[in-house]
Structure 1
Amino acid sequence: MEEIKTLIDQYVAWLGSKITLRQVADWIEITTPYLDRNNDYLQIYARRQNGSYILTDDGYILDELEISGCKLESPKRSALLEMILNGFGVKLVNGAMEVSASKDDFPLRKHNLVQAMLAVNDLFYLASPMVTSLFLEDVIAWLDENEIRYTPNVKFTGKSGYDHLFDFVIPKSKKRPERILQAINRPSRDEAGATAFAWIDTREVRAADSRAYALLNDSEKPVSPSVMDALNSYEVYPILWSKRQEMVEELVV
């Protein structure tokens, strides 16, 4: 317990030390330590308005995806976008992802906006023009094909008070405990760290025998051993997409 608490405290301290602020007209630019697919630090903008605060990405995420050729015009992609934003309580205002916050819930609302930015960026970014379907769609099709029961897009509030959105929860059965499954389209140390933190923060409010898995897309390139090690060290069990059939029995029962 104390070891995990120390790790969480270190993570929160690291977040605070990596955040920088800059005045831009009547907005405050907040640079976070989270990286987008271009290895640029995610930035959001905040300003006071009518006694509260407006936080926005200024349209960055959707503009970048559009420039990359990933249009969100199809009904299925629009529905997926809306589902993610609703899961984090984020609104789409003139192409920008936006939340409003009070002094009391500012940290939580900022956290939700950044997590929504990461989720949308990861879900819709197509690594190659030859990719014909989204990784999450492939995962859903695989779960359905193997008759693995699941509830999609489940949000849990962790011990810290932050909300964490998990892609799938496989309910407890007579033989297996509750299983939480996160699909990671672009496995990296940052993505592994975010998933590990979400699980560390959440596991204490779930059943003691609950297990977490990360399904890693290795279709385009091999997953780094450092990513696998990072997940394993926090008891998030990695599953390579190329070896997914080896895990069917553990998930289907």
Structure 2
Amino acid sequence: MKKTEIDTLIDSYFKWLKENTSSKIINDTWSEITTPYLDRHNDCLQIYAKKEGDKIILSDDGYIIDDLKTCGCYLDSPRRKEILNTTLRGFGVLLDDNQLIVKTLAENFPQKKHDLIQAMLAVNDLFYLSKPQVQNLFFDDVVAWFDKNDIRYVQKVKFSGKTGFDNMFDFSIPKSRKYSERLVQTITNPSKENSMNLVFKWIDTKDERPAESVLFAMLNDSEKAIASQVNEAFSNYGINVVPWSEKEKFVEKLAS
């Protein structure tokens, strides 16, 4: 894609974000911010903000963890606690009595708001661990497959995007003599919402990486087929789709 096309896409993304974000004061302390990002129920994520000295406290008011529990997904086993804590640390988010919280100065508010929303989406996706047939995390399956095929990688890498926001990807595979830098993102539940979140992240990051960098979306299709609209969205933005059932076709591109 040309630079002008990327700039236009980023501008349209910002316009969409602004037009679909609203706020209201709910009491003398807290304000409610409604975002256009959707959880798995297709409800808009809401966060809450209050001033505390020279800092701003941002919280999900316990919504994400409480919703997981209501739906039968408990994160109280040692392994699931480890997954939750690792996820939150990656975004710099704290867990306080089931609330996801960040504290920030006013000048860092945009980045920290972005981090909290991304953490809420990531933890929300842990719901799919509650299904009995899911014996291992999809992420762990991918790590094991990488190791089996001698694919070199760095886990959980952050890159600053054109917007100035940090974006996290599951894996980075260094450039080789044959291939350019490759980023890999795993998606346990390849829904339309999750695919668009990755598209926005890639649009923001692409121009800040080496010119030939590519992104692979590794999608879990073990329980259901990948929807055509998901494949189309990734194709339109030059993202390589790797269905888990067809992963062996991509060994050479990732390992070389």
TM-based fold match above 0.5: yes
> Where does residue 144 of structure 1 map in the other structure?
147
Shift of residue 200 of structure 1?
1.6
Alignment equivalent of 2:114, drawn from 111, 116, 126: 111
Change in Cα spacing, 1:85 to 1:106, as seen in structure 2 (3 Å) is: same
- The 2-side partners of 1:127 and 1:207 are apart by 39
SS state at 1:21 partner: strand
> Where does residue 49 of structure 1 map in the other structure?
52
Per-residue CA deviations over 1:151-180 (Å, capped at 9, x if unaligned) read 110011111110101001111122111110
> Where does residue 14 of structure 1 map in the other structure?
16
Structure 2 unaligned residues grouped into runs of 5+ = none
Shift of residue 127 of structure 1?
6.4
Per-residue CA deviations over 1:59-93 (Å, capped at 9, x if unaligned) read 11112222223222233322222222122111111
- The 2-side partners of 1:193 and 1:31 are apart by 18
> Where does residue 213 of structure 1 map in the other structure?
216
Shift of residue 182 of structure 1?
0.3
- The 1-side partners of 2:243 and 2:130 are apart by 17
Structure 1 unaligned residues grouped into runs of 5+ = none
Matches within 5 A, 1:86-125: 86-125=89-128
> Where does residue 78 of structure 1 map in the other structure?
81
Alignment equivalent of 2:169, drawn from 133, 153, 166: 166
- The 2-side partners of 1:188 and 1:130 are apart by 19
> Where does residue 191 of structure 1 map in the other structure?
194
2:157 aligned partner, one-letter code: V
- The 1-side partners of 2:118 and 2:146 are apart by 25
Alignment equivalent of 1:134, drawn from 137, 144, 150: 137
Over 6 Å off, 4+ runs? none
The 8 Å contact of residues 60 and 99 in structure 2, kept in 1 or not, is answered as: yes
- The 2-side partners of 1:126 and 1:181 are apart by 21
SS state at 2:107 partner: coil
Compute the RMSD of aligned alpha carbons: 1.5
- Structure 2 length as normaliser, TM-score? 0.93
Shift of residue 42 of structure 1?
1.0
The answer to which of 186-195 and 172-181 deviates more is 186-195
- The answer to whether structure 1 residue 29 and structure 2 residue 27 are counterparts is no
- Structure 1 length as normaliser, TM-score? 0.94
Query: How many aligned positions are there?
Result: 253
- The 1-side partners of 2:134 and 2:174 are apart by 31
Change in Cα spacing, 1:146 to 1:123, as seen in structure 2 (3 Å) is: farther
1:62 aligned partner, one-letter code: I
Shift of residue 145 of structure 1?
2.1
- The 2-side partners of 1:7 and 1:230 are apart by 14
Change in Cα spacing, 1:182 to 1:142, as seen in structure 2 (3 Å) is: same
> Where does residue 70 of structure 2 map in the other structure?
67
Change in Cα spacing, 1:151 to 1:194, as seen in structure 2 (3 Å) is: same
- The 2-side partners of 1:149 and 1:73 are apart by 32
The 8 Å contact of residues 175 and 182 in structure 2, kept in 1 or not, is answered as: yes
- The 1-side partners of 2:90 and 2:187 are apart by 17
Percent of aligned pairs sharing the same letter: 49
- The 2-side partners of 1:124 and 1:180 are apart by 25
